[in-house]
Every structure is written in C-alpha cells, then in structure tokens.
Amino acid sequence: MYKPLSIVLGVALLASLGLVAATASARSDVRTGSDAQVAVLLPDSKSSVRWETQDRRFLAAAFRAAGVTYSIVNAENDRQRQRAQAEQALTNGAKVILLVNLDSGSGAAIEALAAARGAKTIDYDRLTLKGRAAYYVSFNNAAVGRLQGQGLVACLKASGAYSKKPVIAQLHGSPTDNNATLFRQGYQSVLNPLFKNGTFKKGPDQAVPEWDNQKALTIFEQMLARTSNKIDGVAAANDGLGNAAISALKARKLKQIPVTGQDATAQGVQNVIAGDQCMTVYKAIKAEANAAAKLAISLIKGTKPAGVNGKTFDGRRQVPSVLLTPVSITKRNYKILFTDGFLKRGEVCRGAYAKFCK
C-alpha cells in the first residue's frame, strides 16, 4: 500500500529519536531534572562493564528508595567531559558528588571545585590521590590483589607447574588509576618472595594504559613473542586484561595456563568455568553502591556519616573510609554470584559455556 513520503520520513524520524533516546539513557540517568541532590560521575564503559551494568542500577535504586534526587552520568573516558559534568551538577545544586575519577589530577581538580561550591565529594571505588574528598568508599584493594596472587599460586600448584620454576607474566592496570597500584602491591606481595627465592621466574611485566583491552592484547602478544611462548602463568589485574591474555594464547593454539582476573564479569566467569582463567575476584558492587548511597544520604541529611570503618592515606592525609571485603571466585564457588543476584545464570551458562555449568 502506498504511503506518503512525509509519513515514511516521520516514522523514520521517530525511530531515530527512539534509538538516540535509548542510547542516551545508557549513559545518563537524571531524576527530577535540574535539582539532583547527589551527582554520580562514572568514568567510562570500556575499562569494565561494571559501571553501566552494575553500579548505575544499584546506585539509582538506592537513591530512589531513599527519596533522594540524583543524577548519574558517564564521562566515557573524557576528562574535560567529566569536569563539565561536575560543573553542571554543582550549578544545578548538587550537595554531594560521588566521583569515580579518570585520574587523580583531574579528580583533584573536580574535588577542589566542589569544595569551593560548598559541596562534599565521596571518592567511589577509586581514591583520588592528594584530593579533597570528604570520604572514600571501596573494597580493600590491596586485599583484592593478594587474592589474585594467592589464587595464581594455588592454580600453579593444582596444575603441577609450581615446582617447575614457572615463568610469570604480569599485566597491570592503568598507571593513572590508584586502584591498579594497590592491586599490584597486593599480588606482588605474594609473588615477589617467590621470585626472590627462585621458586618462580619473573617474566614480562607491563602496565596497560587506561585498562584498554585491545592494548592489553597487543602487549601480551609481544610478551609471548619475547619469551618464545614460554609463559606459565599470568597475573592479570582484571577480567578484561585476563581475557586479552587468554585470547592471545588461543590465537597461538597454546595450552591453558593459570590467568587471574577481577570484577567477576560474565565473560570472566565463563573463562573460569571453562578453565581458561583460574580465578576472578568478586566485589559485591551492590553492597558497595548501597554503602556509598547511604553515606551520601547521611551527608545530605546532616546525620552521622554512615558506615565509616577506617581510614585510607591519599598521599597527603588520611581519608575517612568505608572499606568492604572482596571474595575469590573459582570453579568451586562461582554460583554465589547467581544467588547474590550479581549475575544471572543465563548470562554465564549459555552457548559453548552451558556445558560447564552443573
């Protein structure tokens, strides 16, 4: 049936606007427009899928339940955009900024701006070195690294490689992320004594700029080339970097070796149950988001700061902190991710990975 061109174009325009709106909603979540009391500044959607799939929804739910107006935006790894997002939030009257910085320099500038406008900042997940955050909410990130180091050792023992002087490569997180420094300190506290006493051989060791998984793939391919494929284990700082190493090993048709990870992403857990990755680290993001939301709400309401249980040195001062405990995830206990509601079984146990779920 013939349809006038104007109708066809109108339908196409509506569809296009719908697509744009859907795309925008994945990057921003603004409640009650310009009067948000708390502004959440997320960093990107590439370094880890958690920011959009986990943190956003849990933070939004916590603020909605408390009747607190909020905005959640994502800078997509653009420092100027994150600064502009902070300025807009403060102009709109935000009393608390919940910040996941892109680096400590730009984060400190945002925190100084917030302080000048009479707002308080909470460092969320990532500590801003020498910043002005009133509080810090995160997991014990050195403990995350220790779990990775201990997990790698356990997997090397299970594979029989521990007693054969295995060569261990290290893929560190972004050098501009203080968390990456803490993860590194954690797993190296386990590995360095073994390098020193000759139990392990220290292999290639490199940081991955901005947690970029494609760069990690290139870096690990170069590591394999330099060592003639003689790498027996990989301390990878998160699941994305671990998957890059796994992809390089598969491309060269090399055998499975122990590879660590972190964040308990669906892909990371699939790699764990398939035997390509020896472990990941579960940081209960719902608990972290709820802790941050409760703290922000207490600051808005002027009540006692909620949940503070420690202090963290930011290079200049001790920042009052809410610190949570991470959990190591292996083939033996991965199902707690389902029972906790962190992941859905269908996100992991599908396609080629369904056979590994029992």
Distance CA 213, CA 201 (A): 25
69 and 215 housed in the same domain: no
Contact in structure between 83 and 110 (CB atoms under 8 Å): yes
Give every CB contact of residue 2 below 8 A, 6+ residues apart in sequence: none
Query: How much is the pLDDT for 242?
Result: 98
Give every CB contact of residue 243 below 8 A, 6+ residues apart in sequence: 213, 261, 267, 268, 271, 277
235 and 342 housed in the same domain: yes
DSSP-H helix ranges across 197-302: 213-226, 239-251, 266-274, 285-301
Distance CA 58, CA 10 (A): 37
176 and 112 housed in the same domain: no
221 and 351 housed in the same domain: yes
Give every CB contact of residue 19 below 8 A, 6+ residues apart in sequence: none
Query: How much is the pLDDT for 261?
Result: 98
Contact in structure between 214 and 241 (CB atoms under 8 Å): no
Three-state SS string across 106-169, please? HHHHHHHHHHHCCCEEEEECCCCCCCCCCEEEEECHHHHHHHHHHHHHHHHHHHCCHHHCCEEE
Residue 343's CB: how many other CB atoms inside 10 A? 22
Query: How much is the pLDDT for 15?
Result: 42
Tokens 């299970």 found at: 158
Distance CA 94, CA 151 (A): 42
Distance CA 163, CA 214 (A): 33
For 70, 169, 193, the CA distances from 135, given in Å and listed in that order, are 18, 35, 34
Range of the domain at 248: 141-283+328-356
CATH number at residue 173: 3.40.50.2300
Chunked into runs of 10 residues, the chain (358 residues) has average pLDDT values of 42 41 46 77 92 95 97 98 98 97 97 98 97 97 97 98 98 95 98 98 97 97 98 98 98 98 96 98 96 98 96 97 97 96 96 94
79 and 206 housed in the same domain: no
214 and 273 housed in the same domain: yes
Query: How much is the pLDDT for 49?
Result: 86
197 and 275 housed in the same domain: yes
20 and 76 housed in the same domain: yes
Contact in structure between 276 and 353 (CB atoms under 8 Å): no
In a domain, 255, yes or no: yes
232 and 84 housed in the same domain: no
Query: How much is the pLDDT for 35?
Result: 81
Q: What are 329's strand-pairing partners?
A: 280
Contact in structure between 254 and 232 (CB atoms under 8 Å): no
104 and 55 housed in the same domain: yes
What's the domain count of the chain? 2
278 and 298 housed in the same domain: no
In a domain, 3, yes or no: no
In a domain, 113, yes or no: yes
Contact in structure between 324 and 138 (CB atoms under 8 Å): yes
Distance CA 315, CA 114 (A): 20
In a domain, 11, yes or no: no
Distance CA 124, CA 144 (A): 16
Q: Label residue 238 exposed, middle or buried (CB < 10 Å: 0-12, 13-18, 19+).
A: buried
Percent helix, percent strand, percent coil in the chain, to nearest 5? 50, 15, 35
Distance CA 333, CA 196 (A): 32
In a domain, 258, yes or no: yes
In a domain, 8, yes or no: no
Contact in structure between 162 and 156 (CB atoms under 8 Å): yes
For 18, 25, 36, 84, the CA distances from 21, given in Å and listed in that order, are 5, 6, 20, 21
230 and 195 housed in the same domain: yes
Query: How much is the pLDDT for 2?
Result: 41
In a domain, 1, yes or no: no
Query: How much is the pLDDT for 12?
Result: 43
In a domain, 126, yes or no: yes
Give every CB contact of residue 157 below 8 A, 6+ residues apart in sequence: none
